[in-house]
Structure 1
Amino acid sequence: MSKRKQYHVDHSNDCHSKLEINEQENGASEVKKIKLIHPNQNARMIMIDFSNSFSHHTESVDEIRGLELSLKKKFLLQQEGKKKWLLNRELKYEHFFPVEFMNDKEFILNHIKKYGYGFGFMASKLRQDRNFVLQAAQLEGGVLNYYKEDSLNDKEVVLEALKTKKGFSLESASPELLKDNNFVMEAIRLNEKSVWYASEKLWKDRELVFEAIKQNKKALQWVSHTLRDDKEFVLKALQLLYPEFENFVSISDANKEIMLKVVKDFGFLLKFASEELKNDRDVVCTALKSDYTSLEFASLDLQNDIEIALEETKRNGYALKYVSPQLKKTKDVVLTAVNQNGYALAYASDEMKKDREVVLAAVRKEGRALQYADKKLQKDQEIIFEAIKQDQSVFPYISHHLFYKDCSYWEYLNCERKHKELILKLAKLGVERLFRYIPNKFTEDRELVKKVANINGLSVVGLCHYSPLRNDKEIILEAVKNNGVALKFVSEELQKDPELVMEALKRNGFALDFSDELYQERMRHFYHDACLGKQQHSPQNCMSESKKHCDFLFLERRFREE
């Protein structure tokens, strides 16, 4: 007569396994199949039948031990896969979401909340989910920039996006909404910048503009330049906002105390202050804290004040535009400006644009600032590579300085070997679509193109239409193996190629869109078919959770005891 024992191993709230061991009269035991069932997922794993007997014959013991070790290895791999998944779920993704997270609503919302972007990386079907779009818009208004349809005509969704004051403006709303004065007023109440994008009808009706300013006083800063320059309009607006102006006939009549109060809120109104107050350091500095452009209206003496210039350019490099011509030649001021914003180089004196140290500082902050440097420095190799390091997208605009004879260092690059070395160096710097902007002969060099593909897959995508290698699958395969995102830039035909799709998935989880098949393949290949459970997790508890999911490893000990 056989005896039956049952062991239950619970390794999560919603995942369990069951082991049945039948002990027979002859001392042998039969271990039945174990089913690992996850009631909340359409998945069932049937585990192996170890043996029909627990006899002490060497062959049987070896077989059981082998199966036991195989099972243990699988569980350990799943444990490691779960840990890897948990850690990857907390990473910041710059260019795409791996397929395992493309359809994960909680992950997407968390990424948007933490980093301010990611909506464009998610599964396309989620963009049709209004409730999810609304949740995302409440975190980051800019998510609506990925829409050209219903959401931009959805009043509630658009208002939630505007409320965040992040990345979304009223101009992106549908024309129908912009015709609705009540909607526009509510938009302005929530986000003062909305007044800048209000419909033409609003601008023609000043009473509506005044009503908007009543709704949100900050809207005054965002009215059109025409209205900002209109003394009569500005005076009436100030009378609505500040009781002190009730009996004034001119803004310039305001004394220092009143003007300090005004420019603290609206620095640009320094324009209407008296000449005396425009030369008052307290008034000007207060205005500058509100709006750096107000330096344009300060007296010449204060525009030439190096202390003010250094303070303002440190806060906003563009303030260099409004300092005196003399200070635009002052290296300390210019360096302070370009270290804050490289584009400030545009407002430096010609002398400073020829200064190597200044230009290097500018391009290290903003690669595209190179366009404002002196022509000679635009051809300087070190400066060019510093600009490319900061912003690879600058390469198309300066490639002619590297590969054509008018380059100041042509002698250094006067042979094909040197050109090839340069191309490989650019690929290592991360330049994308490199072959579009270099001499045609290199786009036909198969060996060179393959080398580049191995260094940076995105450097070879988008080969010129006339290149014989443009749709060469072998080269595209190398590119995708280097970076799965390369699949995004190849022809539609190659995007559907199963081998390329799988390679992109294996490389870094890239997929053009979410599908269950790709998700399952990614989980199998990269996470060892880890059982994730229903709960959401964090890296802090991943070790304890992973351990809990592998409690059934104690079976090894039980088998020995039996």
Structure 2
Amino acid sequence: MSEKALKGLHSSIDLVVKDPARKDYALKALAVHGRALQFLAPQLRADKEVVLKAVKNDGWALQWADQECRKDRELVLKAMSKDVRSLQSPDESIRFGQNNILALKEVLSDPTFALEALKQDGLAYEFLSPDLKQDRELARVAVTQDGHALELLVPELKQDRSLAYKAVQQKGSALEFVPHFANDLMLVSAAVRNDPGAFHWASKELQANREVWLQVCPERLEHWKNLASVEKELHLEGTVLRMADPLLKKDPEMIFQAAVQNRQVLEQLDPSTWRSKDFMLRLAREDLGVLRFAEWQSREDAMEALEVSGMALEFLPEELRADKDIVLEAVGHSGRALQFASAELRSDREVVLKALAQERTALLFAAEHLRRDKAIWLYDGEEPPFFEPPPEEEAETEAPEEEGIVVTE
């Protein structure tokens, strides 16, 4: 994030904390950080204009909208256009999540809404109600919009050859999800015409048949043995490494080039060819997400990964994300890594202050009692005093509207 963007994010947080019930503050904050919706007063989480501003910025913000807003088709469609996963059930840790779950189930059980959603993104099929997932017409719309929706179909619909054909016509690599059709020459040919790499998912019989090769992949046999040709392909799509000659698939530099382009290629290769610590750390400097495939042998390995980026904390095992020394190291490199720490450590004042020393936005991920601590908001890099309100102030139902104090309900 650029310095200018980070400054804007800090300012937006300040506005919300200053007064979570002011709509003008809310709209300014949500234009920068959609998930700030979670910190607004209930009446603003029920305001369609406010929620629309949030989901336009970040579809995931829909999780914190009022249940009535989660029934609003316009809002739900706008959220899923940013992130289709916003259709999944809200996190149970959200205190108003149960009502939201019920509201969402109502929307996802509506056939009219389902059809509209699938035309926008076929992967929305995953979140439909069980009854609607049985609807063949909705399944057809899903795979026609995104062939990879074929993976999500209920088992009986995956057996439908015409649906599989529609899917591979849209995205040849969807052939992977219907291995029972791997020997169907017509269906395999349709997949390969869309994506030559799809031939990897054809049956061994078809792959070994020279006549089939000539029909669906003319001149490809020699192509995948040529180093220069494979390198050129890898710059376009890393996962095509699976089509290369076996010797090339074991070349560390070939694997590195492929994984930089698409980390998923690692799932298709023998782990012994790439799962060394040095290789993973080198690759992590190009794409931190590859650490999801790492095997963590020791705390020392984890510390080395955190030197690449504190955000590597996301990919560490649960027990290491609950290790205070590990988390302190992570947030010392990147304050936002606090979001991946255990709940106990997100409540730890020392850990939160160290994260804040790196970037103030880390406070978004701290435990609620620390987000509402006046001393934390006055923190400027030095150890702040603990804020202990006088007895008469504790007895009041509402705190005075001073700068830096959040008025709670």
Question: Which bracket does the TM-score occupy, shorter chain normalised?
Answer: 0.5 to 0.7
8 A Cα contact 1:338 1:365, kept in partner: no
Q: Which amino acid counterpart does residue 236 of structure 1 have in structure 2? A: M
Deviations 1:140-171 (A, max 9, x none): 544432454221122232233334449x6312
Distance between the aligned counterparts of 1:328 and 1:175, measured in 2?
39
Q: Tell me if 1:364 matches 2:305.
A: no
8 A Cα contact 2:55 2:75, kept in partner: no
* 1:105 aligns with one of 29, 37, 48: 48
**Matched residue count:** 335
Task: Classify 1:286/1:243 alpha carbon distance in 2 versus 1 (closer, same or farther; 3 Å).
Answer: same
Which shows bigger deviation, 116-125 or 190-199?
Answer: 116-125
Note the 1:138-153 alignment, pairs <5 A.
140-146=83-89, 147-153=103-109
What is residue 426 of structure 1 aligned with on the other side? 351
8 A Cα contact 2:33 2:54, kept in partner: yes
8 A Cα contact 1:353 1:359, kept in partner: no
Which shows bigger deviation, 117-126 or 189-198?
Answer: 117-126
Where does structure 1 lack aligned partners over 5 or more consecutive residues? 1-80, 262-272, 400-421, 432-454, 462-475, 485-496, 512-562
8 A Cα contact 1:341 1:366, kept in partner: no
Task: Classify 1:144/1:503 alpha carbon distance in 2 versus 1 (closer, same or farther; 3 Å).
Answer: farther
What is residue 56 of structure 1 aligned with on the other side? none
Distance between the aligned counterparts of 1:165 and 1:108, measured in 2?
21
TM-score (norm 1): 0.46
Distance between the aligned counterparts of 1:349 and 1:134, measured in 2?
39
What is residue 110 of structure 2 aligned with on the other side? 154
* 2:164 aligns with one of 183, 187, 209: 209
* 2:124 aligns with one of 146, 169, 178: 169
Distance between the aligned counterparts of 2:365 and 2:284, measured in 1?
31
Task: Classify 1:424/1:193 alpha carbon distance in 2 versus 1 (closer, same or farther; 3 Å).
Answer: same
Distance between the aligned counterparts of 1:477 and 1:213, measured in 2?
49
8 A Cα contact 2:51 2:69, kept in partner: no
Q: Which amino acid counterpart does residue 119 of structure 1 have in structure 2? A: L
Superposed displacement of residue 238, structure 1: 2.9
Task: Classify 1:199/1:329 alpha carbon distance in 2 versus 1 (closer, same or farther; 3 Å).
Answer: closer
Distance between the aligned counterparts of 1:162 and 1:170, measured in 2?
7
Indicate the SS of the match to 2:70: helix
8 A Cα contact 1:141 1:164, kept in partner: no
Q: Which amino acid counterpart does residue 174 of structure 2 have in structure 1? A: W
8 A Cα contact 2:364 2:371, kept in partner: yes
Deviations 1:119-158 (A, max 9, x none): 2233333234445545555565444324542211222322
Task: Classify 1:144/1:83 alpha carbon distance in 2 versus 1 (closer, same or farther; 3 Å).
Answer: closer
Higher strand fraction: Structure 1 or Structure 2? 1
Q: Tell me if 1:238 matches 2:188.
A: yes
Distance between the aligned counterparts of 2:79 and 2:296, measured in 1?
47
What is residue 259 of structure 1 aligned with on the other side? 217
Superposed displacement of residue 104, structure 1: 3.7
What is residue 309 of structure 1 aligned with on the other side? 255
Distance between the aligned counterparts of 1:352 and 1:285, measured in 2?
35
* 1:335 aligns with one of 270, 281, 287: 281
Q: Which amino acid counterpart does residue 193 of structure 1 have in structure 2? A: H
Note the 1:346-495 alignment, pairs <5 A.
358-361=304-307, 364-371=310-317, 381=325, 383-388=326-331, 389-392=335-338, 394-396=340-342, 423-429=348-354, 479=372
8 A Cα contact 1:101 1:107, kept in partner: yes
Deviations 1:289-339 (A, max 9, x none): 6654443453342124344233223223454563784655483x4333222
8 A Cα contact 2:59 2:81, kept in partner: no
* 2:139 aligns with one of 184, 193, 204: 184
8 A Cα contact 2:109 2:128, kept in partner: yes
Indicate the SS of the match to 2:60: coil
8 A Cα contact 1:304 1:326, kept in partner: yes
Higher RCO (CA < 8 A, seq sep 6+): 1
* 1:118 aligns with one of 35, 49, 61: 61
Task: Classify 1:89/1:251 alpha carbon distance in 2 versus 1 (closer, same or farther; 3 Å).
Answer: closer
8 A Cα contact 1:482 1:507, kept in partner: no
Distance between the aligned counterparts of 2:289 and 2:190, measured in 1?
38
What is residue 499 of structure 1 aligned with on the other side? 397
Task: Classify 1:239/1:318 alpha carbon distance in 2 versus 1 (closer, same or farther; 3 Å).
Answer: closer
Distance between the aligned counterparts of 2:262 and 2:206, measured in 1?
31
Deviations 1:422-454 (A, max 9, x none): 9542232469xxxxxxxxxxxxxxxxxxxxxxx
Q: Which amino acid counterpart does residue 309 of structure 1 have in structure 2? A: I
8 A Cα contact 2:372 2:405, kept in partner: no
Q: Which amino acid counterpart does residue 172 of structure 1 have in structure 2? A: F
Indicate the SS of the match to 1:366: helix
Where does structure 2 lack aligned partners over 5 or more consecutive residues? 1-21, 90-102, 197-204, 357-361, 378-394
What is residue 525 of structure 1 aligned with on the other side? none
What is residue 31 of structure 2 aligned with on the other side? 90
Q: Which amino acid counterpart does residue 111 of structure 2 have in structure 1? A: K
Task: Classify 1:283/1:391 alpha carbon distance in 2 versus 1 (closer, same or farther; 3 Å).
Answer: same
Higher helix fraction: Structure 1 or Structure 2? 2
Distance between the aligned counterparts of 2:293 and 2:159, measured in 1?
35
TM-score (norm 2): 0.61
Task: Classify 1:193/1:361 alpha carbon distance in 2 versus 1 (closer, same or farther; 3 Å).
Answer: farther
Superposed displacement of residue 190, structure 1: 2.0
What is residue 193 of structure 1 aligned with on the other side? 148
Indicate the SS of the match to 1:117: helix
Instruction: State the Cα RMSD in Å.
Output: 5.1
Distance between the aligned counterparts of 1:182 and 1:298, measured in 2?
38
Superposed displacement of residue 480, structure 1: 6.3
What is residue 534 of structure 1 aligned with on the other side? none
Task: Classify 1:104/1:97 alpha carbon distance in 2 versus 1 (closer, same or farther; 3 Å).
Answer: farther
Structure number with greater Rg is 1
Deviations 1:209-245 (A, max 9, x none): 22x337x421x423564x3475413x33133456899
What is residue 127 of structure 1 aligned with on the other side? 70
Indicate the SS of the match to 1:392: helix
Distance between the aligned counterparts of 2:400 and 2:147, measured in 1?
48
Indicate the SS of the match to 2:33: coil
